């Protein structure tokens, strides 16, 4: 079936066989895994997963591709849906196992989809996504690096993150204008305790909105309540660890900041 990639769906079909096989190898699939593939497209990755896993789920927005997928892979339950509007709680009721999620994502939906999925992080074993390399670099960025930002802190608070491979534009049809990377995100079972999650998000957001300032100057409206935090408030926002931001947030909460 000839199918022209649709820009409105952000379709860049992964066609490089070596990359496809590398992805499947990195998954370490078991025959009884509970898995959902997001955006299977023409089924290049679906085909390889299907060889190892006879039954899984797929969510595809392009109604023209759904019959192709259903006809080619009878053991795959293909759902026609916009993944950002899909009720994952309904899917997760289909198996009591921890779910595995994989997808070659349109870059414009990657961050909102991660936010949506992490609401259900207790039901998720791991997530493997093809994303824009710049986004993956931000997700993985350690303290003290330029790529480190709000997304780094929020995602590293909730997940262990590992970049598995860089992927060149030529591996896709049509080739995107940016480099890509394949990443594994494994939700943490024991996250650091927060007294006020909304305050934590606010502190991280405010700090990185003024990332050229020291933490003391970026957060000065909060820090009047916290004369001695025990942290290096002369550091730049990107220099602090996730643990530092959790500690700072909890100290501010103890001081009555909301």
Which segment of 107-116, 145-154, 192-201 scores lowest on mean pLDDT?
Answer: 107-116
What tens digit of pLDDT does each residue of 188-238 get? 989 999 999 999 999 999 999 988 899 889 888 877 766 566 788 889 999
CA distance 119 to 122: 8
CATH class in words for 197-254: mainly alpha
Buried b (16+ CB within 10 A) or exposed e, 138-165: bbbbebeeebbbbbbbbbbbbbebbebe
Q: What is the pLDDT of residue 4?
A: 52
Contact 16, 170 (CB under 8 A): yes
Tokens linked to 222: 């909060």
Tokens linked to 72: 């080619």
At residue 167, what are phi and psi to the nearest 5 degrees? -130, 125
Indicate whether 49 pLDDT > 90: yes
Share of the chain above pLDDT 90, in %: 79
CA angle 101, 104, 108 (to 5 degrees): 105
Per DSSP bridges, beta strands 124-132 and 180-187 are antiparallel
Count CB neighbours of 3 within 10 A. 13
Hey, what CATH topology would domain 7-187 get? Rossmann fold (3.40.50)
Helix 44-52 vs helix 17-27: crossing angle, to nearest 10: 40
Indicate whether 175 pLDDT > 60: yes
- Domain ranges for the chain, please list them: 7-187, 197-254
- Measured CA distances, 194 to 21, 48, 173, 197, 246 (Å): 40, 41, 44, 6, 7
Same-fold call for 7-187 versus 197-254:
no
- The arithmetic mean of pLDDT across residues 15-27, rounded, is 97
Residue 166 pairs in a beta bridge with 181
Indicate whether 239 pLDDT > 50: yes
Q: Which residue has the higher pLDDT, 177 or 4?
A: 177
């Amino acid at each position: 079936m000839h199918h022209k990639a649709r820009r409105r769906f952000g379709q860049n079909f992964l066609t490089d066989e070596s990359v496809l096989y590398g992805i499947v190898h990195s998954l370490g699939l078991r025959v009884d895994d509970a898995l959902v593939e997001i955006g299977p497209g023409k089924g290049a990755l679906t085909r390889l997963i299907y060889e190892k896993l006879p039954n899984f789920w797929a969510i595809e927005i392009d109604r023209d591709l759904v019959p192709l997928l259903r006809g080619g892979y009878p053991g795959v339950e293909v759902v026609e849906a916009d993944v950002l509007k899909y009720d994952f709680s309904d899917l997760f009721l289909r198996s009591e196992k921890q779910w595995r999620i994989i997808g070659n994502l349109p870059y414009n939906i990657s961050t909102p989809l991660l936010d949506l999925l992490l609401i259900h992080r207790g039901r998720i074993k791991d997530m493997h996504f093809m994303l824009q390399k710049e986004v993956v670099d931000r997700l993985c960025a350690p303290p003290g690096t330029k790529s480190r930002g709000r997304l780094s802190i929020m995602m590293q608070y909730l997940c262990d993150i590992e970049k598995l491979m860089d992927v060149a534009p030529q591996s896709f049809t049509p080739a995107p204008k940016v480099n890509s990377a394949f990443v594994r995100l494994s939700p943490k079972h024991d996250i650091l305790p927060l007294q006020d999650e909304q305050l934590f998000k606010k502190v991280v957001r405010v700090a990185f909105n003024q990332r050229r300032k020291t933490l003391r100057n970026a957060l000065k409206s909060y820090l009047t309540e916290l004369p001695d935090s025990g942290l290096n408030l002369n550091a730049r926002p990107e220099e602090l660890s996730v643990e530092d931001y959790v500690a700072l947030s909890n100290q501010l909460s103890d001081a009555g900041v909301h």
